[in-house]
Amino acid sequence: MKAFYAEEQKRHDPKAFLSSGAPQPNPEQPERVERLLAGALSAGCTIERPRNHGLGPVAAVHTPEYLDFLEHIYARWQRIEGASAEVIPNIHPIARNGSYPASAVGQAGYHMADTACPISGETWQSALWSAWSAVDAAEAVMSGAPAAYALCRPPGHHAFADVAGGFCFINNSAVAARVLHKQAARVAILDVDLHHGNGTQGIFYARPDVLTVSLHADPVRFYPFFWGHADERGEGLGLGYNFNLPLPRKSADAAFLEVLAVALQRIRAFSPDALVVALGLDAFEGDPFGGLSMTTPGFSRIGEAIAKLDLPTVIVQEGGYLCDELGDNLTAFLTGFGGKMR
């Protein structure tokens, strides 16, 4: 299987992260890349550098207002006397359908859902290359590969069309889905990350041509709190095309796989032409977030179950944080998905 990754994706190096109000080291570390690369290589992947695809595939998902903000906010922030080194918002609109602020501080609050997505001078380029990895993986699948893996870092599934959040800036899974749409009439996105894929849900919420399905720790007491509940089913033409499967905290392999079977049944009923797997590995029992209790062999079984859909598949990396088994968990998923891939 081909895997896509560019060195530029490592430059984004966020420092701060507010956890229950307290400053903590940001868990979305560049070191994740090394572990995931090792895991992909162990699964038999060949690593390729993506091409520069320009803004087009990203602008198919995100608003121009937001992309302009992401590209320029760091330089603007530096001109504010006494401002933090990284762009971190301190005020958010209660509703986002009113006026658009002119100030950098106001726009940061408008475009950033939380304090977990600090923007540095490297963030824009890293996020772009991460998205381009997803584009190349989608193009490989459109060219006939049964599957391809995009080592997307920074991750993407918490990014809405015009909002960053939860370590995410550009929604790589959504970008991959839109690229697949050039050939595939219907695309399903299956998100197995520990956290609900709220950005992905939001981007396609009113659309019947992209089915979004997410398994995650129940948001009633877990990030992202305001999205991911079972009664969020889509709206307008998209009603019935969003499917959330919240799991009780600390659910382990058996419970996860049982709910995954329900998710896969829904995907079969949608009869998609292609699939995007938003592959978070943070449902692992040893992940620092500790929300679910999947084991390494469990990820292999997730891969096996998804492979039975027999669909052209783009696997997009989402979460999964530093622990000794991070690379092994990726290897387990990829080998489960495709046997020992070449």
What does the binding site for Zn ion look like in residue numbers (CB under 5 A)? 193-195, 280, 282, 319
What is the distance between the alpha carbons of residues 236 and 198, in angstroms, rounded to a whole number? 18
Judged by beta carbon, residue 3 or residue 215, the one nearer Zn ion is 215
What is the distance between the alpha carbons of residues 37 and 176, in angstroms, rounded to a whole number? 20
What is the distance between the alpha carbons of residues 59 and 23, in angstroms, rounded to a whole number? 33
Q: For the CB of residue 295, give the shortest distance to Zn ion in the complex, in Å.
A: 17
Q: For residue 158, indicate whether it is catalytic.
A: yes
Judged by beta carbon, residue 65 or residue 285, the one nearer Zn ion is 285
- Choose, from 12, 53, 158, 195, the residue flagged as catalytic: 158
Q: For the CB of residue 283, give the shortest distance to Zn ion in the complex, in Å.
A: 8
Judged by beta carbon, residue 193 or residue 325, the one nearer Zn ion is 193
Q: For the CB of residue 233, give the shortest distance to Zn ion in the complex, in Å.
A: 22
Long-range contacts of 82-87 (CB under 8 A, 24+ apart): 84/16, 85/15, 85/120, 86/14, 86/15, 86/16, 86/118, 86/119, 86/120, 87/112, 87/118, 87/119, 87/120
What is the distance between the alpha carbons of residues 137 and 200, in angstroms, rounded to a whole number? 18
Contact call for residues 241 and 211 (beta carbons, < 8 A):
yes
Judged by beta carbon, residue 224 or residue 303, the one nearer Zn ion is 224
Judged by beta carbon, residue 107 or residue 329, the one nearer Zn ion is 329
Q: For the CB of residue 216, give the shortest distance to Zn ion in the complex, in Å.
A: 8
Q: For the CB of residue 198, give the shortest distance to Zn ion in the complex, in Å.
A: 11
254 to 196, 257, 297, 331: CA distances (angstroms): 19, 5, 11, 20
| Beta strand ranges found along the chain (DSSP E) | 2-4, 16-19, 22-25, 46-48, 147-150, 187-191, 210-217, 242-247, 274-279, 313-317
Residue of 15, 196, 23 lying closest to 123 (CA atoms): 15
Q: Report the alpha-carbon angle 12-18-23, nearest 5.
A: 95
Residue ranges of the alpha helices (H) in 79-217? Answer: 104-111, 123-142, 172-180, 198-204
- Give the residue at shortest CB distance from Zn ion: 319
Q: For the CB of residue 194, give the shortest distance to Zn ion in the complex, in Å.
A: 5
Judged by beta carbon, residue 156 or residue 238, the one nearer Zn ion is 156
Q: Which residues are catalytic?
A: 158
